[in-house]
Structure 1
């Protein structure tokens, strides 16, 4: 599955990128048509990979890499489009998730499921982040803030659906139920604490800011191709 995903991701992404670059250079497509064509490359890579029993998610990711190499001049516009449309698609995904999966899961909650979901949002998140930041010289409040805000959302839903539909595991339903409750609790806990903790952290930073602090280092915007 991964091999087919990589193969068709490269093929569709590169060919699609070259075609869009060729058409745009000659003025055959522009504006919204060019942006929608970019979206079609990712969707096409996913669809082709799924048809040949490849991994569609891998194909879409690799197609993006190949597209960036083949159509460098159009990456900035594609990024802006993806950012805007990504918010819309994310909202629709959560709407679908709440309507189809969250409701039935309310009646299947058990103590082990609740306990694992809470561990996934706390210990399993906070400890690895704290360990990864050892040596960064960030202050404890900064590490705690970064460690806490690791919401479980789209990625968890997608991989949970993959396990439910493709993996054919004996405990697939139970695993997806755990994923569902982890996402539900993440929406509640991170949603309820986001504004309050952000304000508290902002106030702490204003009071304790020093020029030598890593938190005070200017960060440049990540460049696009």
Structure 2
């Protein structure tokens, strides 16, 4: 019970302090996920040893389930923040980012892990898949707020949000392909991956999420017409929808993460009227549900495993941040209509942060395979991304804005 009360005080206090200083933090070189992560390190065993996740139960399970819920709430907020009918208007850019850039990020990360850490090929591909998704939580801190809205064009902010929302769920088959190959003969693994993972877990997730999101939207519209829905209840309704979709998709054996994002998009297509309440969902989710996961991560970091990785781990983190995404975006940007020139490509290529989505898949992979190297290297790169992308977000966003002003219309 003492551990619970300490956790409530510590995590609640961190969120309160970040809330009180939110404006100065937005204008500084720090980011809210980075501050929450550092607070978790101080609270955890490395510093004051106030809390230790392993005392609460199995750390892998706790982190996996906590990140799963955090992702669901974040993805619903991202879906509701996108412009109306965004997937239809931006299908070409999304096709490039999800159909071409995403597989290249997987292969690049896996190849780097194979060459630098010397992992077996399938383990390296698993680590590459864990690091593939662009994180919607960290991305939201880059594309929202006064600095981003003043300096970045809407097309870039929305494209990064839309990509990060979709590829979290679409990373699922990339992660499970090496997991299945590690556990089964190749022919059996590929058959299971094609039939069960792709067709059922991914395909059904899209249909299931779309159906639930559409039905939830139609119910809201009916409630508005009958005057049974209070406007203030809209936020709770959409947050609850994300949990309903996440849980029910899992119960039928489908990809709940992808289903939530699709449900949010479908819901947004149906619900009419003022979009401001929808956009506020993201802010509410960030304050109350998203920041604590970074505190939890800070308390759970595998410091001894990082030391065993040595300089190879540092080299891998640097290589992944520089080569996982940037070369692919620079090579393919002419195919994407919303990326207009090398400046857009550089910005979008650099800001593909690795965060909560990778944390979820890292713990899922550890539970499925028992490969400690995937968790050790994955958590190191996640923290490196939170640090580097958090520190560079405000300065590079302002630099982008100044370069646009100098260039003129």
TM-score (norm 1): 0.74
Whether 1:95 aligns to 2:295 is yes
State whether residues 209 and 245 of structure 2, in contact with CA within 8 Å, keep that contact through their aligned partners in structure 1. Answer: yes
SS at match of 1:50: helix
Q: Relative to 1, partners in 2 of residues 1:39 and 1:121: Cα closer, same or farther, differing over 3 Å?
A: same
CA deviations on 1:110-165 (whole Å, 9 max, x unpaired) are 333332222110022221121123486625x6544443333222332233233334
CA distance in 2, matches of 1:157, 1:59: 19
Whether 1:147 aligns to 2:345 is no
Tell me which of 203, 209, 216 is aligned to 2:407.
209
- Equivalent residue pairs, number: 205
Tell me which of 189, 214, 225 is aligned to 1:25.
225
Whether 1:5 aligns to 2:205 is yes
Q: Relative to 1, partners in 2 of residues 1:183 and 1:3: Cα closer, same or farther, differing over 3 Å?
A: same
Q: 1:54-203 counterparts in 2 under 5 A?
A: 54-69=254-269, 71-73=270-272, 76-77=275-276, 79-88=278-287, 89-101=289-301, 106-134=306-334, 138-139=341-342, 143-165=345-367, 168-169=368-369, 171=371, 173-203=372-402
Structure 1's unaligned 5+ residue stretches are 212-225
CA distance in 2, matches of 1:75, 1:62: 21
Structure 1 residue 13 displacement after superposition: 2.0
Q: Relative to 1, partners in 2 of residues 1:74 and 1:143: Cα closer, same or farther, differing over 3 Å?
A: same
Q: Relative to 1, partners in 2 of residues 1:108 and 1:87: Cα closer, same or farther, differing over 3 Å?
A: farther
Between stretches 36-45 and 151-160, larger displacement belongs to 151-160
Whether 1:40 aligns to 2:240 is yes
State whether residues 306 and 313 of structure 2, in contact with CA within 8 Å, keep that contact through their aligned partners in structure 1. Answer: no
CA distance in 2, matches of 1:25, 1:93: 38
- Flag the structure with more relative contact order, 1 or 2, with Cα contacts below 8 A and sequence separation at least 6: 2
Structure 2's unaligned 5+ residue stretches are 1-200
SS at match of 1:133: helix
Structure 1 residue 95 displacement after superposition: 1.8
